[in-house]
Structure 1
Amino acid sequence: MVISRKQESPKCDIFINKVKLKQTEKFKYLGTIISNNGKTNREISARTAQAKINFQKMKTTMTNKHISIETRKRALQCYIEPVLMYGCEAWTISKQIQNKLEATEMWFLRRMLRIPWTAKKTNERVLNEANKRRSLVRTIRKGQATFLGHVMRRGKLEHLLTTGKF
Structure 2
Amino acid sequence: MKTILTNKHISIKTRKRAFQCYIEPDLMYGCEAWTISKQIQDKLETTEIWSLRRMLRIPWTAKKTNERVLNEANKRRSLVRTIRKRQATFLGHVIRRGKLEHLVTTGNLEGKRSRGGQREKITDGLATWLGPGRVTET
TM bucket, shorter chain: 0.7 to 0.9
Of 103, 118, 121, which aligns to 2:46?
A: 103
* Structure with the largest fraction of strand: 1
- Following the alignment from structure 1 to structure 2, what is the Cα–Cα distance between the partners of residues 165 and 113? 49
Deviation digits for residues 40-68 of structure 1 (CA, Å, limit 9, x no counterpart): xxxxxxxxxxxxxxxxxx11110112211
Of 54, 57, 63, which aligns to 1:120?
A: 63
Query: How much identity, in percent, do the aligned residues show?
Result: 85
The question of 1:59 aligning with 2:7 is answered: no
- Following the alignment from structure 2 to structure 1, what is the Cα–Cα distance between the partners of residues 45 and 103? 34
For residue 8 of structure 1, what is the aligned residue in structure 2? none
* Structure with the largest fraction of helix: 2
For residue 72 of structure 1, what is the aligned residue in structure 2? 15
For residue 164 of structure 1, what is the aligned residue in structure 2? 108
- Following the alignment from structure 1 to structure 2, what is the Cα–Cα distance between the partners of residues 163 and 88? 18
* TM-score of the superposed pair, with normalisation by structure 1: 0.62
* TM-score of the superposed pair, with normalisation by structure 2: 0.74
- Name structure 1 gaps, 5 residues minimum: 1-57
For residue 15 of structure 1, what is the aligned residue in structure 2? none
Give the AA of the match of 1:137.
Answer: V
Matched pairs, number: 109
